[in-house]
Amino acid sequence: MTVLEQPGSYRPSSPPAWQPRTDPAPLLPDAEPYRLLGTEAADALDPELLRRLHRELVRGRRYNTQATALTRQGRLAVYPSSTGQEASQVAAALALEERDWLFPSYRDTLAAVARGLDPVQALTLLRGDWHTGYDPREHRIAPLCTPLATQLPHAVGLAHAARLKGDEVVALAMVGDGGSSEGDFHEALNFAAVWRAPVVFLLQNNGFAISVPLSKQTAAPTFAHKAVGYGMPGRLVDGNDAPAVHRVLTEAVHRARTGGGPTLVEAVTYRLEAHTNADDDKRYRSDAEVAAWRAHDPVDLLERELVRRGLLDEDGIAAERASAEEMAAALRERMNQDPVLDPMDLFTHVYAEQTSQLREQAAQLRAELAAAEEAAR
Protein backbone atom coordinates (compact mmCIF):
# COMPACT_ATOMS: atom_id res chain seq x y z
CA MET A 1 0.00 0.00 0.00
CA THR A 2 1.36 3.36 -0.96
CA VAL A 3 1.09 6.50 1.13
CA LEU A 4 -1.64 7.90 -1.12
CA GLU A 5 -3.65 4.67 -0.80
CA GLN A 6 -3.81 4.87 3.01
CA PRO A 7 -7.20 5.93 4.49
CA GLY A 8 -7.34 9.64 5.18
CA SER A 9 -4.18 10.38 3.23
CA TYR A 10 -3.74 13.72 1.46
CA ARG A 11 -4.89 13.53 -2.14
CA PRO A 12 -3.99 16.70 -4.03
CA SER A 13 -6.10 17.57 -7.01
CA SER A 14 -4.53 17.48 -10.45
CA PRO A 15 -2.53 20.65 -11.06
CA PRO A 16 -3.74 22.90 -13.88
CA ALA A 17 -0.42 22.67 -15.70
CA TRP A 18 -2.01 20.85 -18.62
CA GLN A 19 -4.14 23.87 -19.44
CA PRO A 20 -2.79 26.26 -22.10
CA ARG A 21 -1.14 29.26 -20.50
CA THR A 22 -1.99 31.32 -23.56
CA ASP A 23 -4.26 30.86 -26.53
CA PRO A 24 -2.03 29.24 -29.17
CA ALA A 25 -4.13 30.35 -32.15
CA PRO A 26 -2.72 33.92 -32.44
CA LEU A 27 0.83 32.53 -32.24
CA LEU A 28 0.48 30.20 -35.23
CA PRO A 29 2.01 31.26 -38.55
CA ASP A 30 -0.02 31.59 -41.73
CA ALA A 31 -0.53 28.46 -43.81
CA GLU A 32 1.40 30.04 -46.70
CA PRO A 33 4.43 32.36 -46.64
CA TYR A 34 3.41 36.01 -46.55
CA ARG A 35 3.92 37.76 -49.89
CA LEU A 36 3.49 41.24 -51.31
CA LEU A 37 5.07 41.17 -54.76
CA GLY A 38 2.60 39.97 -57.37
CA THR A 39 -0.42 40.80 -55.18
CA GLU A 40 -2.85 43.73 -55.19
CA ALA A 41 -1.20 45.00 -52.00
CA ALA A 42 2.00 45.68 -53.95
CA ASP A 43 0.41 48.74 -55.59
CA ALA A 44 0.28 50.49 -52.21
CA LEU A 45 3.95 49.95 -51.38
CA ASP A 46 6.07 53.06 -50.80
CA PRO A 47 8.03 53.82 -54.01
CA GLU A 48 11.02 55.15 -52.08
CA LEU A 49 11.21 52.01 -49.98
CA LEU A 50 11.08 49.84 -53.10
CA ARG A 51 13.87 51.84 -54.73
CA ARG A 52 16.00 51.61 -51.59
CA LEU A 53 15.45 47.86 -51.34
CA HIS A 54 16.31 47.41 -55.01
CA ARG A 55 19.47 49.50 -54.70
CA GLU A 56 20.68 47.43 -51.77
CA LEU A 57 19.77 44.16 -53.48
CA VAL A 58 21.79 45.04 -56.57
CA ARG A 59 24.75 46.12 -54.44
CA GLY A 60 24.38 43.00 -52.32
CA ARG A 61 24.42 40.67 -55.30
CA ARG A 62 27.58 42.33 -56.64
CA TYR A 63 29.14 42.24 -53.18
CA ASN A 64 28.55 38.49 -53.01
CA THR A 65 30.10 37.81 -56.41
CA GLN A 66 33.10 40.01 -55.67
CA ALA A 67 33.73 38.42 -52.27
CA THR A 68 33.49 34.96 -53.84
CA ALA A 69 36.05 36.00 -56.47
CA LEU A 70 38.38 37.32 -53.77
CA THR A 71 38.22 33.93 -52.09
CA ARG A 72 39.27 32.18 -55.29
CA GLN A 73 42.13 34.64 -55.61
CA GLY A 74 43.37 33.81 -52.13
CA ARG A 75 42.45 37.20 -50.64
CA LEU A 76 39.87 35.63 -48.32
CA ALA A 77 40.26 32.42 -46.36
CA VAL A 78 36.58 31.57 -46.79
CA TYR A 79 33.36 33.24 -47.86
CA PRO A 80 29.85 31.95 -47.14
CA SER A 81 27.85 33.51 -49.97
CA SER A 82 24.32 34.81 -49.39
CA THR A 83 23.49 34.91 -53.11
CA GLY A 84 19.76 34.25 -53.37
CA GLN A 85 19.18 35.41 -49.81
CA GLU A 86 19.81 39.11 -50.36
CA ALA A 87 16.18 40.10 -49.73
CA SER A 88 16.24 38.76 -46.17
CA GLN A 89 19.64 40.27 -45.48
CA VAL A 90 18.76 43.75 -46.71
CA ALA A 91 15.32 43.76 -45.07
CA ALA A 92 16.86 42.85 -41.73
CA ALA A 93 19.20 45.84 -41.88
CA LEU A 94 16.56 48.33 -43.02
CA ALA A 95 13.93 47.24 -40.49
CA LEU A 96 16.09 48.44 -37.60
CA GLU A 97 16.53 51.92 -36.19
CA GLU A 98 19.99 53.33 -35.50
CA ARG A 99 19.69 52.61 -31.77
CA ASP A 100 18.92 48.92 -32.34
CA TRP A 101 21.38 46.02 -32.50
CA LEU A 102 21.98 43.45 -35.25
CA PHE A 103 23.31 40.02 -34.30
CA PRO A 104 24.51 38.36 -37.52
CA SER A 105 25.81 34.89 -38.28
CA TYR A 106 28.86 34.24 -40.44
CA ARG A 107 26.71 34.32 -43.62
CA ASP A 108 25.20 37.71 -42.85
CA THR A 109 28.01 40.01 -43.99
CA LEU A 110 25.59 41.60 -46.46
CA ALA A 111 23.19 42.55 -43.67
CA ALA A 112 26.05 44.23 -41.84
CA VAL A 113 27.09 46.15 -44.97
CA ALA A 114 23.49 47.20 -45.67
CA ARG A 115 23.36 48.55 -42.11
CA GLY A 116 26.33 50.79 -42.92
CA LEU A 117 29.40 48.75 -42.04
CA ASP A 118 32.49 49.28 -44.22
CA PRO A 119 32.57 46.39 -46.78
CA VAL A 120 36.22 45.66 -46.03
CA GLN A 121 35.63 45.59 -42.28
CA ALA A 122 32.80 43.12 -42.83
CA LEU A 123 35.28 40.75 -44.50
CA THR A 124 38.15 41.14 -42.03
CA LEU A 125 37.12 38.14 -39.94
CA LEU A 126 36.85 35.95 -43.06
CA ARG A 127 40.26 37.18 -44.16
CA GLY A 128 41.77 36.02 -40.89
CA ASP A 129 43.25 39.39 -39.91
CA TRP A 130 41.22 40.19 -36.80
CA HIS A 131 38.67 38.51 -34.59
CA THR A 132 35.99 40.95 -35.76
CA GLY A 133 37.38 43.84 -37.77
CA TYR A 134 35.10 46.56 -36.44
CA ASP A 135 33.86 48.08 -33.20
CA PRO A 136 30.54 46.39 -32.39
CA ARG A 137 29.45 49.16 -30.03
CA GLU A 138 30.09 51.88 -32.62
CA HIS A 139 28.06 50.18 -35.33
CA ARG A 140 25.61 48.32 -33.07
CA ILE A 141 26.45 45.15 -34.95
CA ALA A 142 27.61 42.19 -32.89
CA PRO A 143 30.62 40.23 -34.20
CA LEU A 144 29.90 37.94 -37.14
CA CYS A 145 29.25 34.65 -35.39
CA THR A 146 30.88 31.50 -36.77
CA PRO A 147 29.73 29.01 -34.08
CA LEU A 148 26.14 28.13 -34.87
CA ALA A 149 23.46 30.04 -32.93
CA THR A 150 25.69 31.24 -30.09
CA GLN A 151 24.77 34.84 -30.96
CA LEU A 152 21.10 34.23 -30.11
CA PRO A 153 21.42 34.12 -26.29
CA HIS A 154 23.70 37.18 -26.54
CA ALA A 155 20.96 39.04 -28.40
CA VAL A 156 18.42 38.12 -25.73
CA GLY A 157 20.77 39.22 -22.97
CA LEU A 158 21.44 42.59 -24.58
CA ALA A 159 17.75 43.22 -25.29
CA HIS A 160 16.73 42.25 -21.76
CA ALA A 161 19.45 44.43 -20.23
CA ALA A 162 18.41 47.38 -22.41
CA ARG A 163 14.83 47.07 -21.23
CA LEU A 164 15.93 46.94 -17.58
CA LYS A 165 17.83 50.19 -18.19
CA GLY A 166 14.78 51.78 -19.79
CA ASP A 167 16.31 51.94 -23.28
CA GLU A 168 13.89 51.27 -26.13
CA VAL A 169 16.38 49.06 -27.96
CA VAL A 170 15.49 46.03 -30.06
CA ALA A 171 17.90 43.23 -30.97
CA LEU A 172 17.45 41.40 -34.26
CA ALA A 173 19.23 38.05 -34.32
CA MET A 174 19.82 36.18 -37.57
CA VAL A 175 20.28 32.42 -37.82
CA GLY A 176 20.13 29.72 -40.48
CA ASP A 177 17.91 26.66 -40.48
CA GLY A 178 20.88 24.53 -39.39
CA GLY A 179 21.36 26.75 -36.36
CA SER A 180 17.88 25.84 -35.13
CA SER A 181 19.20 22.38 -34.27
CA GLU A 182 21.55 23.85 -31.67
CA GLY A 183 20.76 24.07 -27.97
CA ASP A 184 21.50 27.80 -28.04
CA PHE A 185 18.45 28.25 -30.28
CA HIS A 186 16.17 26.66 -27.69
CA GLU A 187 17.73 28.51 -24.78
CA ALA A 188 17.50 31.88 -26.49
CA LEU A 189 13.86 31.52 -27.53
CA ASN A 190 12.85 30.17 -24.14
CA PHE A 191 14.54 32.99 -22.22
CA ALA A 192 13.24 35.61 -24.63
CA ALA A 193 9.66 34.48 -24.30
CA VAL A 194 9.74 34.11 -20.50
CA TRP A 195 11.35 37.53 -20.09
CA ARG A 196 9.32 39.06 -22.96
CA ALA A 197 12.61 40.45 -24.19
CA PRO A 198 12.51 42.96 -27.08
CA VAL A 199 14.21 40.67 -29.59
CA VAL A 200 13.34 39.43 -33.08
CA PHE A 201 14.66 36.13 -34.38
CA LEU A 202 15.06 35.93 -38.17
CA LEU A 203 15.57 32.36 -39.32
CA GLN A 204 16.66 32.18 -42.95
CA ASN A 205 15.52 28.80 -44.17
CA ASN A 206 17.75 28.31 -47.21
CA GLY A 207 17.06 24.60 -47.54
CA PHE A 208 20.31 23.13 -46.29
CA ALA A 209 22.57 22.98 -43.26
CA ILE A 210 25.72 22.59 -45.36
CA SER A 211 24.65 19.37 -47.12
CA VAL A 212 21.88 18.30 -44.74
CA PRO A 213 18.44 18.93 -46.27
CA LEU A 214 15.53 20.38 -44.38
CA SER A 215 13.76 17.00 -44.13
CA LYS A 216 16.60 15.63 -42.01
CA GLN A 217 16.66 18.58 -39.61
CA THR A 218 13.11 18.85 -38.37
CA ALA A 219 9.71 17.21 -38.58
CA ALA A 220 7.91 20.44 -37.65
CA PRO A 221 5.41 21.81 -40.21
CA THR A 222 7.61 24.91 -40.52
CA PHE A 223 10.32 26.48 -38.40
CA ALA A 224 7.85 29.25 -37.63
CA HIS A 225 5.63 26.70 -35.88
CA LYS A 226 8.38 26.19 -33.31
CA ALA A 227 7.56 29.62 -31.92
CA VAL A 228 4.30 28.36 -30.43
CA GLY A 229 6.14 25.98 -28.11
CA TYR A 230 7.93 28.95 -26.57
CA GLY A 231 4.88 31.19 -26.34
CA MET A 232 5.76 33.72 -29.01
CA PRO A 233 4.27 34.45 -32.44
CA GLY A 234 5.69 32.69 -35.47
CA ARG A 235 5.63 34.41 -38.85
CA LEU A 236 6.22 32.72 -42.18
CA VAL A 237 7.31 34.94 -45.05
CA ASP A 238 8.60 34.55 -48.60
CA GLY A 239 12.28 35.26 -48.00
CA ASN A 240 12.83 36.34 -51.62
CA ASP A 241 10.10 38.99 -51.47
CA ALA A 242 12.06 41.94 -50.09
CA PRO A 243 9.08 44.21 -49.28
CA ALA A 244 7.26 41.34 -47.56
CA VAL A 245 10.25 40.49 -45.37
CA HIS A 246 10.73 44.17 -44.57
CA ARG A 247 7.10 44.56 -43.51
CA VAL A 248 7.05 41.44 -41.35
CA LEU A 249 10.30 42.39 -39.63
CA THR A 250 9.23 46.01 -39.16
CA GLU A 251 6.03 44.83 -37.47
CA ALA A 252 7.99 42.41 -35.28
CA VAL A 253 10.48 45.13 -34.30
CA HIS A 254 7.62 47.49 -33.41
CA ARG A 255 5.94 44.78 -31.36
CA ALA A 256 9.16 44.13 -29.46
CA ARG A 257 9.82 47.83 -28.85
CA THR A 258 6.34 48.43 -27.46
CA GLY A 259 6.45 45.60 -24.93
CA GLY A 260 4.90 42.83 -27.00
CA GLY A 261 7.82 40.47 -26.59
CA PRO A 262 9.79 38.41 -29.10
CA THR A 263 8.82 37.05 -32.52
CA LEU A 264 10.26 34.21 -34.58
CA VAL A 265 10.24 34.98 -38.31
CA GLU A 266 11.01 32.26 -40.82
CA ALA A 267 12.06 33.58 -44.21
CA VAL A 268 11.76 30.83 -46.82
CA THR A 269 14.61 31.36 -49.27
CA TYR A 270 17.34 29.37 -50.99
CA ARG A 271 21.12 29.32 -51.04
CA LEU A 272 21.89 29.50 -54.76
CA GLU A 273 25.61 28.93 -54.30
CA ALA A 274 27.62 26.42 -52.30
CA HIS A 275 27.79 26.57 -48.50
CA THR A 276 31.29 28.07 -48.79
CA ASN A 277 34.12 27.88 -51.30
CA ALA A 278 35.15 24.62 -49.59
CA ASP A 279 31.82 22.94 -50.38
CA ASP A 280 30.77 20.93 -53.46
CA ASP A 281 27.01 21.44 -53.56
CA LYS A 282 26.59 19.21 -56.64
CA ARG A 283 27.03 16.21 -54.36
CA TYR A 284 23.75 16.79 -52.57
CA ARG A 285 21.42 18.78 -54.85
CA SER A 286 20.53 18.84 -58.54
CA ASP A 287 21.06 21.57 -61.10
CA ALA A 288 17.31 21.46 -61.79
CA GLU A 289 16.53 22.34 -58.19
CA VAL A 290 18.88 25.32 -58.24
CA ALA A 291 17.47 26.46 -61.60
CA ALA A 292 13.93 26.39 -60.22
CA TRP A 293 14.95 28.72 -57.42
CA ARG A 294 16.83 31.02 -59.80
CA ALA A 295 13.47 31.67 -61.40
CA HIS A 296 12.43 33.11 -58.01
CA ASP A 297 15.46 35.36 -57.76
CA PRO A 298 14.88 38.21 -55.24
CA VAL A 299 16.60 40.83 -57.41
CA ASP A 300 14.53 39.95 -60.49
CA LEU A 301 11.29 39.81 -58.51
CA LEU A 302 11.67 43.34 -57.17
CA GLU A 303 13.04 44.69 -60.45
CA ARG A 304 9.97 43.46 -62.34
CA GLU A 305 7.69 45.13 -59.80
CA LEU A 306 9.48 48.45 -60.12
CA VAL A 307 9.36 48.30 -63.92
CA ARG A 308 5.68 47.34 -63.85
CA ARG A 309 4.84 50.38 -61.75
CA GLY A 310 6.95 52.70 -63.88
CA LEU A 311 9.35 53.35 -61.02
CA LEU A 312 12.37 51.98 -62.87
CA ASP A 313 13.50 51.79 -66.50
CA GLU A 314 16.51 50.39 -68.34
CA ASP A 315 18.56 53.50 -67.65
CA GLY A 316 17.77 53.26 -63.96
CA ILE A 317 18.73 49.60 -63.86
CA ALA A 318 22.00 50.37 -65.63
CA ALA A 319 22.75 53.19 -63.20
CA GLU A 320 22.23 50.94 -60.16
CA ARG A 321 24.45 48.26 -61.63
CA ALA A 322 27.14 50.82 -62.47
CA SER A 323 27.07 52.04 -58.86
CA ALA A 324 27.42 48.45 -57.65
CA GLU A 325 30.41 47.99 -59.97
CA GLU A 326 32.08 51.03 -58.43
CA MET A 327 31.56 49.56 -54.99
CA ALA A 328 33.02 46.22 -56.14
CA ALA A 329 36.03 47.91 -57.74
CA ALA A 330 36.78 49.83 -54.54
CA LEU A 331 36.39 46.65 -52.49
CA ARG A 332 38.67 44.75 -54.86
CA GLU A 333 41.36 47.45 -54.76
CA ARG A 334 41.37 47.68 -50.98
CA MET A 335 41.34 43.92 -50.48
CA ASN A 336 44.28 43.53 -52.86
CA GLN A 337 46.43 45.63 -50.54
CA ASP A 338 48.42 43.49 -48.14
CA PRO A 339 47.40 44.38 -44.59
CA VAL A 340 49.98 45.62 -42.11
CA LEU A 341 49.52 43.43 -39.07
CA ASP A 342 50.99 43.69 -35.58
CA PRO A 343 51.29 40.27 -33.87
CA MET A 344 50.79 42.01 -30.51
CA ASP A 345 47.22 42.70 -31.56
CA LEU A 346 46.55 39.12 -30.48
CA PHE A 347 46.22 40.50 -26.96
CA THR A 348 44.16 43.58 -27.82
CA HIS A 349 40.45 43.67 -26.93
CA VAL A 350 40.52 40.27 -25.22
CA TYR A 351 39.95 41.71 -21.74
CA ALA A 352 39.52 45.28 -20.58
CA GLU A 353 42.35 44.54 -18.13
CA GLN A 354 44.76 41.79 -19.16
CA THR A 355 45.03 38.73 -16.95
CA SER A 356 48.38 37.66 -15.55
CA GLN A 357 48.50 34.79 -18.07
CA LEU A 358 47.94 37.18 -20.99
CA ARG A 359 50.61 39.55 -19.70
CA GLU A 360 53.05 36.65 -19.47
CA GLN A 361 52.20 35.45 -22.98
CA ALA A 362 52.46 38.99 -24.37
CA ALA A 363 55.89 39.40 -22.81
CA GLN A 364 57.02 36.09 -24.29
CA LEU A 365 55.82 37.06 -27.77
CA ARG A 366 57.40 40.50 -27.47
CA ALA A 367 60.75 38.87 -26.64
CA GLU A 368 60.47 36.45 -29.57
CA LEU A 369 59.68 39.28 -31.99
CA ALA A 370 62.62 41.30 -30.71
CA ALA A 371 64.92 38.30 -31.11
CA ALA A 372 63.69 37.68 -34.66
CA GLU A 373 64.22 41.34 -35.54
CA GLU A 374 67.74 41.26 -34.12
CA ALA A 375 68.58 38.11 -36.05
CA ALA A 376 67.35 39.68 -39.28
CA ARG A 377 69.80 42.60 -39.01
Distance between CA 157 and CA 197 in Å, rounded? 8
Beta-bridge mates of residue 236? 266
For the residues 230-238, what does the mean pLDDT come to? 97
For the residues 236-255, what does the mean pLDDT come to? 98
Is the pLDDT reported for residue 308 higher than 90?
A: yes
Per the prediction, the chain carries an average pLDDT of 93
Q: How confident is the model at residue 338 (pLDDT cuts 50, 70, 90)?
A: confident
Is the pLDDT reported for residue 323 higher than 60?
A: yes
pLDDT at 13: 61
Is the pLDDT reported for residue 219 higher than 80?
A: yes
Distance between CA 18 and CA 13 in Å, rounded? 13
SS3 141: strand
For the residues 200-210, what does the mean pLDDT come to? 95
Distance between CA 372 and CA 377 in Å, rounded? 9
pLDDT at 12: 57
Are 276 and 79 in contact, with CB atoms under 8 Å apart?
yes
Is the pLDDT reported for residue 4 higher than 80?
A: no
pLDDT at 101: 98
Strand 199-205 with 263-268, pairing: parallel
Instruction: Tell me the percentage of the chain whose pLDDT exceeds 70.
Output: 94
Instruction: For residue range 118-159, list pLDDT tens digits in order.
Output: 999 999 999 888 778 899 999 999 999 999 999 999 999 999
For the residues 314-343, what does the mean pLDDT come to? 94
Lowest mean pLDDT among 6-20, 240-254, 304-318: 6-20
Is the pLDDT reported for residue 298 higher than 60?
A: yes
pLDDT at 2: 54
pTM: 0.91
Rounded-to-10 torsion of CA 201, 234, 57, 109:
20
DSSP 283: G
pLDDT at 108: 97
For the residues 18-24, what does the mean pLDDT come to? 74
pLDDT at 11: 56
Is the pLDDT reported for residue 170 higher than 70?
A: yes
Are 195 and 223 in contact, with CB atoms under 8 Å apart?
no
Instruction: For residue range 69-122, list pLDDT tens digits in order.
Output: 999 999 999 999 999 999 999 999 999 999 999 999 999 999 999 999 999 999
Catalytic residue IDs: 271, 275, 284
Is the pLDDT reported for residue 15 higher than 80?
A: no
Are 237 and 267 in contact, with CB atoms under 8 Å apart?
yes
Distance between CA 106 and CA 175 in Å, rounded? 9
Lowest mean pLDDT among 54-58, 283-287, 335-339: 335-339
Distance between CA 376 and CA 199 in Å, rounded? 54
